[in-house]
Amino acid sequence: MTSNATVLLLAKSNVEPALKAEDVLVAVREAFTLHSLRAGRVFPVVREKLHTGGVFGIKSGDVASQDLLGFKAAGFWPGNREKGGEPHQATIVLIDPSTGRPLCFMDGNAVTTARTGAAGGLGLAQLARKNSTRLCLFGSGVQARVQLRYALRILPALSEIRYVSASNEPDANFEAEFSGKCQLSLARDRDAAVAASDVIITATPGGGPLFSADAVQPGTHVTCVGADTAGKRELPAGVLDRARIVADDAAQARSIGECQWAPELPVVEMGDLFTGRATFERGMQDITVFDMTGLALQDLTVGRFLYEQAKEKNDGTVVAWPW
């Protein structure tokens, strides 16, 4: 019996086409809900800098009622750009909680991108003003693009997008992707773009403050994506003190997110808004911040539906994995 055991491999070519936005939104919302109800566990995060210049991390967890167990090994290797590769690398592993045997290895890059974009979109739906029309986006890479795609989906009134690129020069590929979907232009003056925006999304490597604190106007919503490691930040000092803060996980945000810079401030967890354990009524003058550090449960709920879907469609590669 054990000699017939197998494991399913899902490569990028299997994963990317299966990540439909509506399915990812449902799975990520479920992860938030499980976390709020403590029906799913999030284990301590590993996030360490390497001698190679990269950052390596592990996010893991389980949902006992669903026999769902697994982890994502991921990180950031900036040197990959010189090799023509993607700096973010991730692999998700689903494990049988009864035996410890691996069920599936899947490419985690596309999963990370999609579930983070969906989480940002759900945050906008909960926290941003519904009539928001102007957005300032920091970044024009993979994560910036998915955040903008979900933002345009969630906030249909958005029409004017200002973006800041890493080079401070126009990004032709980025602009081409969103041509005809919104009015898109490069922000030459960061603070002016921030001050004129209803929504700010920061999706950079988290190398330091991106704008002046006093540029953020009352009523603005800020989604923070890039701070996911001790020492990283995108917000300047003073913004969190003025804001109502929501995080995917409060303890994690205070450890590796923007909240590490102001751990004494009160934080509401996003999942509690979905389950009703917390309430949130936005005042028109409120500044809101969604501090996103990423939940292992998001990787697991998205990974689970990809695994089950692949089995139904006989997709992927089955490999012998005897005991």
Same domain, 140 and 289: yes
Same domain, 277 and 173: yes
Quote the CA–CA distance of 224 and 245 in Å, as a whole number.
11
Q: Are residues 178 and 69 in the same domain?
A: no
Average the pLDDT over 103-117 and give the result. 97
Would residue 14 count as lying in a domain? yes
Is position 120 within any domain?
no
Element (H, E) at 7: strand 6-10
* Integer Cα distance of 111 and 93 in angstroms: 12
Is 119 a domain residue?
A: no
Task: State the total domains in the chain.
Answer: 2
Q: What is the span of the domain harbouring residue 28?
A: 2-111+297-320
Give yes or no: residues 47 and 167 share one domain.
Answer: no
87-96 tens-digit pLDDT: 889 999 999 9
CATH number for the domain that contains residue 231? 3.40.50.720
The per-residue pLDDT for 1 is 53
Shared-domain flag, residues 150 and 198? yes
Structural domain contains residue 198: yes
Question: Quick check: 3 pLDDT over 90?
Answer: no
pLDDT more than 70, % of the chain: 99
Residues 93 and 150 in one domain: no
pLDDT mean over 249-273: 97
- Across the range 245-270, mean pLDDT stands at 97
Based on the fold, state whether residues 137 and 86 are members of the same structural domain: no
- Let me know whether 264 and 151 are in one domain: yes
* Angle subtended by helix axes 142-154 and 21-37, to nearest 10: 90
Rounded distance between C-alpha atoms, residue 49 and residue 56, angstroms: 6
For residue range 118-157, list pLDDT tens digits in order.
999 999 999 999 999 999 999 999 999 999 999 999 999 9
What DSSP line would sit under 195-233, residue for residue? HT-SEEEE-S--BS--S-GGGSPTT-EEEE-S--STT-B
Q: Does residue 36 form part of some domain?
A: yes
Residues 29 and 57 in one domain: yes
Q: In terms of domains, do 84 and 162 share one?
A: no
Residue recorded with tokens 């109800």: 37
**Does residue 268 share a domain with residue 246?**
yes
The conformation of residue 191, written as its DSSP 8-state character, comes to H
Return the CATH number at 308: 3.30.1780.10
Residues 213, 82, single domain; the answer is: no
What mean pLDDT is predicted for residues 93-107? 97
Packing angle between helix 296-313 and helix 21-37, nearest 10 degrees? 130
Within-domain flag for 122? no
Other C-beta atoms lying within 10 Å of the C-beta of residue 68: 20
Q: What percent of the chain has pLDDT over 90?
A: 94
Q: Report the C-alpha gap between 263 and 44 in whole angstroms.
A: 18
CA neighbor of 296 nearest in space, from 87, 95, 136, 81: 95
